[in-house]
Structure 1
Amino acid sequence: MNNDIDQMHFLVLHIGEAYCLNNWNYKNICSPFTRMYYVTEGHAQIVLPDKTQDLYPDFMYIVPAFTPHSYICREEFRHYYIHIYNESGHDILEDWILPTEIKAEKGILSRIKKLHELCPEMELTQTDPKFYDNNSTLNKNILKNKQRELYARVESRGIIYQLLAQFLHLAQPKQYVRDERITKTLEYIRMNLNSHPDLDALAAVSCLSKDHLIRLFKKEINMTPLAYINKKRIENAQLKLVTETTPIKEIAYQLGFEDQTYFNRMFKKMTGLTPMNYRKSFHDTGL
């Protein structure tokens, strides 16, 4: 497991206060950034892959990047939203099982309001994710974040750390850290993902035979090394398709896919869409 906080390079993409009235009912959302919410009034729900989470005032909630989810709102509902994007090659939040809900400690709301003050003009102009989960909006807000004054960027990052620390304080490390050999293998995969590490290299790193590595890896991670590598490569492809204008063929090559047809087939198998249709689904509609 990677505990290196130097890999926490979070930028604020969107922040603001939202008032909803039976209109926060968006389905099948899966964004390349992490979402945090602080509820001030009312009640709503987030439907996650493993549960339906109720949202209540004075609690904070988190939805990590690439987590499929939907929203249900049947009454008045007011909340602060914070969308954060990690520029690091590896998001260390992936190594932890985060609590979806935490009771906000005293002073959290004032820090969120301060973060809002430090990030002017970064509110959502549309509440429907299809209008802001797109290439142009993400790139524009990443650039806008970096163009702020140095003190504002430093203070903003400090507040983001404080907010994330609330969830990490109650987080549990994912179980694969039980075997140091698998930990080393995972770290090697992350450092060499784009070069598509083969089974021989992974076996050498883990000091295991290939058959033993496959059995142990599957026991710890619930998938084979190859399946894990492809999963992480496709997640990287999702991020690139949304935040870059790089041609799909070039993205496939950057991620170690020598055959674009295989890349397209693997991408559709994991996301339900071809790379081209996935990119189109995130393009700005012009509104």
Structure 2
Amino acid sequence: MELSRDFYENRKLENLVENQTSYTLNNAALHIFETHEQAERVLLQFDKPVLASMLKGKKIMHLRDQQSFNFLPGESLILPPDELMCIDFPEAQSTNPTQCLAMAISEEKIDKVIESMNELMPKVDGDEWALIDYNFHFTNDVGIYQILQRLLFLFTENHPSKDMFVDNMLEELIIRILQTNSRKIYTEQSFNLSSNNRLAYVIEYIRSNLHNHLSVKGLSKKACMSESNFYRVFKNELGISPTDFINNERIKLAVSLLQNPNKTIKEIYQECGFESRSYFNRVFKRRKKVAPGDYQSRFNVKL
């Protein structure tokens, strides 16, 4: 993500560590932090729920009751109100500053979006959308990346209607983050949830049968739902279609199998359930930006 020209023209650089530039609107405040020298144990706290997203450089985050972790560009973190962050900046330099956005969103706005989601896109088996798992650390997908890039522009733009523009983008951002969190929960806890949740049961079935033919029609029968209703509910709750979810899981498996240089590409794509090498190549390259054979060659280097 890139900061706009307006940001650089109007911001004041007053501190070398966590220099803060802020923009406040009705339902959210955007803060851009820049650090130009190495630092340790810098404390930061907000009184509202916060989305933090790395723009440039590297942070090491220390959060309460959680192991420390690297926070890198392309990643985001959801924090509850009053969460105390303790941050290290191991690589920050004047010529290569660390940059991060922190967007504090009003709880009223989040509650309103969740209420609308429960009314318009209810979850399966009587579950309801609720507040996200706080301290949720994730990699931005294309949709979230594009929304954050747009919000960076809107907050820094001098436009009389930007409150309305930002408000609409916030709704989509909250929905996509909740769906991303739901996808993570289903993926990591599908076995435990599968006994009383139809989507979790289907996801566990998918992950256990990646080598077999899988179709929306067959999966909808497993869920005891019509094909159209299954597709709608799946996409509402996880933010992606069943086919995209299946392909994502197959690519995860392929990535691990490709690390074995003794396996052929044919063995791998068949073991992952792809019907042809050409389709496997296309899906893999679209997601990993490299061909399967080139990816495998990285692990075939004699030391």
Please state which band the TM-score falls in when normalised by the shorter chain: 0.3 to 0.5
Q: Give the alignment's TM-score, normalised by structure 2.
A: 0.41
Instruction: Kindly name which structure, 1 or 2, has the bigger radius of gyration based on alpha carbons.
Output: 2
Taking structure 1 as the reference length, what is the TM-score of the superposition?
Answer: 0.43
- With CA pairs under 8 Å and 6+ residues apart, which has the higher RCO, 1 or 2? 1
